[in-house]
Amino acid sequence: MYNVTALKTCIQPLLLAVVAGVLATGCKTYEQQNHVIQYWHQGNMTNAVVEATKMADKNANNKDAIIWRLEQGAVLRGAGKYDESNKAFDQAQEKIDQYAQKAKVRVGQEAGAMMSNQANLDYEGRAYDGIMLNTYKVLNYLQLGDPDKARPELVRAYQRQQDAVEINKKRIEAAQAQATNTTTTTTDTTASGSQFKKRAHSPANTDATANAGVTTTNNSAAVDKAQQDPKFQAQIQGIYAGLGNLKPYANYVNPFTVYLDGLFFMANAADASDLERAHKSLERVVGFAPDNNYVKQDLAAVDGVMQGKPLTPTTYVIFETGCAPIRDQIRIDIPVLLPRVPYVGAAFPTLKPQGNYLPSLTVTANSLIVTTNDTVTTASSTTTTTNDAATAMATTGTSTTTNDTVTTTGGTSTVTNDTVTTVSSTTTTTNDTTVTSGSMTTTTNGATVTASSTTTTADVTTATASSTTATTSPIASMDSVIGLDFKNEMPIVITKTIASTIVKAAAAYAINQAAHQQGAIYEIIAMIGTGIYQAAVNIADTRTWTTLPKEFQVCRFPTPPDRKIELGGPGPGQKIPVTIGDGTINIVYVKSITATNQLLVTQFKLK
């Protein structure tokens, strides 16, 4: 008969661990919990707002507060609720800033994550989260007609990009220190009962324990062993190979934020330093998007303003298309330093770029076509003057002068002191060739002077109503912005995941060994329990801001005289008419969530 007391002693720590792990994670990834993105993809703004607000309020004071406020802010912005969007972003920003000010690692929370998973840590906001948060606040304030509040948000966005490198460096150092200072000790049981010990040690406490049946594993050595394992390295390199194909942006730089900075300070320059800032920002964007000719035109425009030239009426179409990558998870085997357990599976996050998006947007506008280097031909004619009466025969009309009064069919003549000047009469344009009929005749004291015909080749402006089409050009890939941040974060993720996996494996091994000493039924129960526990906590941190776009694109053109344009809709041949508001520098902002959703079109003016 089994010893009930021994059974309770063996299983109790296991049950506590299982319950804690299951309650903490709920066995669901962020993707599985996120119903906001489903409504977002459907273009159902009403339900997306309701769901995002519900989740943001529900998680307002827990580890997921920031991520849900970010989702809420983006959805409210998409619904045109700019004030409410800014309030959500303000709440996220307050928490992000609080975490950024904490220099030391929260040891208790990190230790708890060692026994569960990284999704149980507070979501502190990634570098691109804070940058995009401030960028969206800039756009919100501009669409509310408040550029004075937009200006400091651009300054904050710039500062976040500068600070991100140092912040990430500290996070990597903290993660490495946490892994180095953790030692797991598993103690086999003696005949008198079961024991389980897990304690944190410094690297000095790595000596093999003299007691029989005790195995001491230092996490620093175990993490190093795992990272150097050929099988593990092959899996990691295969899964994350795509990160090497990202656009080569500088670390933590968002080119769209930099571009918006350039446009804003060009159009709203208070002094020469603002213009210099605009020039520097646009110059940087040319480096990020060398094939985008629109940005080169902007750089030329700000150069002109710096030389005293005014900005000409210009309309920009900013196109926000698609959805940002989501995070999924994949199992990778990790080598561990435990008897009879060569490898243990661990969940690592992966990035999944999203398809189903409009690759570009066409914009059609009426404009004036300028024709240059046309040929103008003036036909010759003969004029005879007698007693101050002149009759001029032209190709296209007749001029008769009587009593110093001139009437010219198709033209105008003036008479002063018996001097008659006849100007060319009719102009027609055919196939870019302009033919002008008529001549110039001067009469003085009854003498007749007839000018020969004149042919002139010159620049001629022909006013022609025509349709002009522009296509947006990429300025920033959020796939690359997020991917580069993910790539920089991977050393932290790998280190923490390996360390956590080894701790959990050692704990499960110790419990199973203790149960084994009590008998077969104890061992079976322990193995089932540890299996449930491992499955419950073997979850990667898949939290990410899913309502961000895939790409930002832009085009620019002189504002058409009738201030009307048409946007190419998602359907074949579909056109969306837009009347541009008043202003010298106008922004038409277009958002497309999927290739089939209706476009969300708004506008504001920069100047």
- 3-class secondary-structure state, position 581: coil
Strand ranges in 356-462 using DSSP code E only, listed in sequence order: 362-368, 374-379, 382-386, 389-393, 398-402, 405-408, 413-416, 419-422, 427-430, 433-437, 441-444, 447-450, 455-458
| Interacting residues of 274 by C-beta distance below 8 A, sequence separation 6+ | 265, 268
Question: Which sign, positive or negative, has the C-alpha torsion 368, 371, 372, 378?
Answer: negative
Give the relative orientation of helices 219-228 and 230-239 as an angle to the nearest 10 degrees.
70
How would residue 130 be classed by pLDDT, with cut points 50, 70 and 90? Answer: very high
How would residue 203 be classed by pLDDT, with cut points 50, 70 and 90? Answer: very low
Yes or no: say if 553 and 282 are a contact pair by the CB < 8 Å rule: no
Asked whether the predicted pLDDT for residue 426 surpasses 80, the reply is: no
Asked whether the predicted pLDDT for residue 216 surpasses 60, the reply is: no
pTM of the model: 0.73
* Amino acid 171: pLDDT: 66
How far apart (Å, rounded) are the C-alpha atoms in residues 539 and 30? 10
Most confident of 59-63, 192-196, 339-343: 59-63
How far apart (Å, rounded) are the C-alpha atoms in residues 237 and 90? 39
How would residue 175 be classed by pLDDT, with cut points 50, 70 and 90? Answer: low
Asked whether the predicted pLDDT for residue 280 surpasses 50, the reply is: yes
Yes or no: say if 157 and 135 are a contact pair by the CB < 8 Å rule: yes
- DSSP letters, 201-236, are --TT--SPPSSTTEEEEEHHHHHHHHHH-HHHHHHH
* Amino acid 16: pLDDT: 52
Asked whether the predicted pLDDT for residue 514 surpasses 80, the reply is: no
Yes or no: say if 119 and 58 are a contact pair by the CB < 8 Å rule: no
- 3-class secondary-structure state, position 599: coil
Asked whether the predicted pLDDT for residue 599 surpasses 90, the reply is: yes
**In terms of pLDDT, which residue wins out, 129 or 335?**
129
Per DSSP bridges, beta strands 433-437 and 374-379 are parallel
- Quote the tokens at residue 69: 């406020």
How far apart (Å, rounded) are the C-alpha atoms in residues 588 and 603? 4
DSSP H or E stretch at residue 53: helix 45-58
Asked whether the predicted pLDDT for residue 402 surpasses 50, the reply is: no
User: What pLDDT, in 10s, does the model give residues 373-394?
Assistant: 333 333 333 333 333 333 333 3
- The residue among 533, 501, 539 whose CA lies nearest residue 14 is 533
User: What pLDDT, in 10s, does the model give residues 6-16?
Assistant: 545 545 554 55
**In terms of pLDDT, which residue wins out, 296 or 218?**
296
User: What pLDDT, in 10s, does the model give residues 519-569?
Assistant: 777 667 766 766 666 666 678 899 999 999 999 999 999 999 999 999 997
User: What pLDDT, in 10s, does the model give residues 41-55?
Assistant: 999 999 999 999 999
